[in-house]
Amino acid sequence: NVAVFDDGFAKVNSLPAFAPLFSENRVTLTKNLANHSESVYDGGEHGVRVLSVMAAASNEAPGSLSKANYFLFHTEEKKSEYRIEEYNWARAMEMADSAGVHLVNSSLGYSTFDDISMNYTPSQLDGNTAVITKAAAKGVSKGIVVVTSAGNAESGWRNILFPADARGVIAVGSVDAGGVRSSSSTIGPAADGRIKPDVMAPGVASPVINSSGEVTASSGTSFASPLVACLAGGILQAYPQLTAAQATESIISSADRAASPNNKYGYGIPRFLAAKNYIEKKPLNLKTSAENSWTLFPNPASNIIHIKSVQPPGLSLISLWDSMGREIFQTEAELTWANNPLEVDISFLEQGFYYLKIKSPNGNFVKRIMKK
Architecture of domain 291-371: Sandwich (2.60)
> What is the per-residue pLDDT across 319-338, written as a single tens digit (0 to 9) for each?
998 766 678 999 999 888 77
pLDDT of residue 310: 77
DSSP 326-358: -EEEEEEEEE-GGG-SEEEE-TTSPSEEEEEEE
| Predicted local distance difference test score (pLDDT) of residue 282 | 65
Looking at the chain, the whole-number percentage of residues with pLDDT higher than 70 is 96
pLDDT at residue 270 is higher than 70: yes
User: How do residues 47-93 score in pLDDT, each as one tens digit?
Assistant: 999 999 999 999 999 999 999 999 999 999 888 899 999 999 999 99
Q: Is 318 helix (H, G, I), strand (E, B) or coil?
A: strand
The yes-or-no verdict on residue 277 having pLDDT over 50 is: yes
pTM: 0.77
Per-residue pLDDT tens over the stretch 201-260: 999 999 999 999 999 999 999 999 999 999 999 999 998 878 899 899 999 999 999 988
Q: Kindly report the average pLDDT of the chain as a whole number.
A: 91
Measured distance between the N- and C-terminal CA atoms of the chain, rounded to whole angstroms: 14
**Amino acid found at 14:** S
Task: State the number of CA atoms in the 13 A half-sphere of 116 facing the CB.
Answer: 0
Quick one: pLDDT at residue 361?
A: 80
One-letter identity of residue 316:
S
Across 141-166, b (16+ Cβ under 10 Å) vs e yields eeebbbbbbbbbbeeebebbbbbbbb
> 80, 118, 119, 71: which is closest to 98 by C-alpha?
71
CA angle, 215 as apex, 43 and 145 as ends, to 5°?
65
Closest CA to 111 of 156, 173, 48, 166: 156
Q: With cut-offs at 50, 70 and 90, classify the pLDDT of residue 294.
A: confident
pLDDT band per the 50, 70, 90 thresholds, residue 287: very low
**Helix axes of 221-238 and 45-55: crossing angle, nearest 10 degrees:** 30
- Calculate what percentage of the chain has a pLDDT beyond 90: 70
**In the prediction, which pLDDT does 360 show?**
82
Same topology, domains 2-281 and 291-371? Answer is no
Higher pLDDT, 346 or 156: 346
Per-residue pLDDT, 289: 42
Would you say residue 288 has pLDDT above 70? no
Helix (H, G, I), strand (E, B) or coil at 360: strand
Mean pLDDT of 26-53: 93
Per residue in 144-203, pLDDT tens? 999 999 999 977 799 999 999 999 999 999 999 999 999 999 999 999 999 999 999 999
Domain boundaries, the chain: 2-281, 291-371
Contact between residue 160 and residue 197 where contact means Cβ atoms under 8 Å apart = yes
Residue 283 has pLDDT above 60, yes or no: no
Task: Please list, in sequence order, all residues whose beta carbon lies within 8 angstroms of the beta carbon of residue 359, skipping any fewer than 6 positions away.
Answer: 316, 317, 319
User: Quick one: average pLDDT of 269-295?
Assistant: 72
Which pLDDT does position 44 carry in this prediction?
85
2-281 sits in which CATH class? alpha beta
